[in-house]
Amino acid sequence: MARIAVGGFQHETNTFAPLKATWAMFEEVDGWPGFSRGRELFPAIEGVHLPITGAVEALRELGHEIVPLSWCAATPSAHITEDAFERIAAVLLEDIASAGHLDGIYLDLHGAAVCEHLEDGEGELLRRIRAQVGDSIPISVSLDLHANVTEEMMALADVLDAFRTYPHVDMGDTGARAARHLDALLRGEGPFHKAMRKT
């Protein structure tokens, strides 16, 4: 049994849209749970069609101890405000730091987050997490199929699993797949290889 932290944030940025994603938008309940942290995360996502829900279910079935971090989402809009991103990142980093020993991390991300001050929101978040936990802890990430996967995201995550359907009927399945890939890494299965091609 491994000790695995789970968390993330979701935002699909359209830089041409008129309204920016503020912190208040990530706190709102709008077809998905509002900002949830720690013990409140599991009841908030239970039964909701989300990647993190599928990941948690799969990790439980695999017998792992799950450490809840935080999760939030906002309606697609223009850039995430600097204030909102920095709050989201700070909470995740704080919770990882206080989680104690971790064997792995699962993150539910969109992959197309653009911030007022950053073009690659997910890449920056992964960079900060890697700087905190080091290279030995595997990080598995689920993504939307509309993700703009960057070289930094590829370099910093051990697993990137994206939706395969549109409409996205496989959100939970994708989270579960990312969780199973993380489990396989922890068990030493493989070999695993990463590859990326821009089209």
**Confidence (pLDDT) at 31:** 85
CB 20 within 8 A of CB 114: no
Do the strands 65-73 and 36-37 form a parallel or antiparallel pair, or are they unpaired? antiparallel
- Quick check: 148 pLDDT over 90? yes
- The CATH class given to the 3-186 domain equals alpha beta
Is the pLDDT assigned to residue 199 strictly greater than 90?
no
Tokens 């849209």 locate to: 17
**Element at 121 (helix H, strand E):** helix 121-133
What is the domain partition of the chain in residue ranges? Answer: 3-186
User: pLDDT value at position 198?
Assistant: 81
Q: Which residues pair with 67 in a beta bridge?
A: 5
* DSSP secondary structure code for residue 132 in this structure: H
Per residue in 109-126, pLDDT tens?
999 999 999 999 999 999
What are the residues whose beta carbons fall under 8 Å from the beta carbon of 198, sequence distance 6 or more? none
Supply the pLDDT for residue 192.
86
Question: How high is the mean pLDDT of the chain?
Answer: 97
pLDDT tens per residue, range 128-146: 999 999 999 999 999 999 9
**74-87 pLDDT tens trace:** 999 999 999 999 99
Instruction: Decide if pLDDT at 176 tops 90.
Output: yes
pTM of the full structure? 0.97
% residues pLDDT > 70 (the chain): 100
The answer to whether the Cα torsion of 102, 44, 122, 148 is positive or negative is positive
With tokens 């653009």, the residue in question is 114
Cα distance between residue 100 and residue 135, in whole Å: 17
Element (H, E) at 86: helix 82-97
Number of residues assigned to the chain: 199
148 three-state secondary structure: coil
Q: What's the pLDDT at 153?
A: 98
Q: What pLDDT, on the 0 to 100 scale, is given for residue 196?
A: 86
Contact partners, residue 172, CB within 8 Å, separation at least 6: 49, 50, 51, 53, 54, 57
